[in-house]
Structure 1
């Protein structure tokens, strides 16, 4: 599932400058994220600690030794009844798209979130008209379950979001 010459692994603090740079590109130049201000490296460190501290995966994709993408699963909502549901975030450096890295990241994220005991994954995808993110999620078994119309406003335009969902694989049963 991981393209030749690439690797998907757990994120480390040393990766966060690259993660911050990748995300900042999308914040500044696109509407695929509704963030309007890039996170600082310190804010990424806090998020990494929160995500991994709750037993959820935060992954990076490497190509030729450089971090070119990241993905993480975070709680869907704060209310306790939602504790088995997570939301995914997947971002690739613009020059790394179209190489199968998004599929590798999201596929690994789905598997690891399932192993972490979560049952459902939600994707909230900005409907920008280009469709790559929704297509990625559909390839990995997500189904569209809703649309929120004109819920985001960024760079002078109103943006819908698609809600996609999939069940996560159950953790392997204890062999004993």
Structure 2
């Protein structure tokens, strides 16, 4: 029997679980190039900044627990990039390969389109993140390039894979 995944907007009460999920990713993974996990106060400040900027931030619940989260944030801060967002998706280690990432990213794409954004960029830490690359490809992202050996973490050099997806009319019409 498969469990039901609920996708909903983030709340301040989710930050403890989100902080733990991110801490695991920072400590053991290569999806983030941060070297030290931020504390809950910092993670909540980041959440508030995204929400105040009009960016979507979602959580997935599985069996009554936060199983993952996703948000879109500014790709770059200069004004010409204001219609382009970068996505971030993090899944609790116990919830991998259960469809949580796919549901979160699909929901994030829909919210970003509804918010008037036109392009979504995936900046995937490490070319060895084949699951993340496959997830993005399955939801319409195309490869846009790879920066090789630009980050150093866990005793090795890491690539960054860039993928891109048009949102709504993309570049077909003015914003």
Contact 2:26–2:35 under 8 Å retained in 1? yes
Q: Structure 1 residue 20 and structure 2 residue 16: aligned?
A: no
Structure 1 residues 160 and 10: CA distance shift in structure 2, 3 A: same
1:118 shift after superposition: 0.5
Number of residue pairs matched? 169
Distance in structure 2 (CA, Å) of the matches to 1:130 and 1:124: 11
Unmatched 5+ stretches in structure 1: 171-176
1:127 shift after superposition: 2.4
C-alpha deviations, 1:52-103, integer Å up to 9, x for none?
1111111000011110100000000010100000000000001101111100
Q: Structure 1 residue 31 and structure 2 residue 18: aligned?
A: no
Q: 2:10 is matched with which residue?
A: 11
Q: 1:168 is matched with which residue?
A: 167
1:4 shift after superposition: 4.5
1:18 match: secondary structure? helix
The within-5 A match list for 1:1-176 is 4-170=3-169
Distance in structure 2 (CA, Å) of the matches to 1:17 and 1:100: 22
2:149 match: secondary structure? strand
Q: TM-score under structure 1 normalisation? A: 0.92
Q: TM-score under structure 2 normalisation? A: 0.93
1:134 shift after superposition: 0.3
Q: CA RMSD in A?
A: 1.4
1:33 match: secondary structure? coil
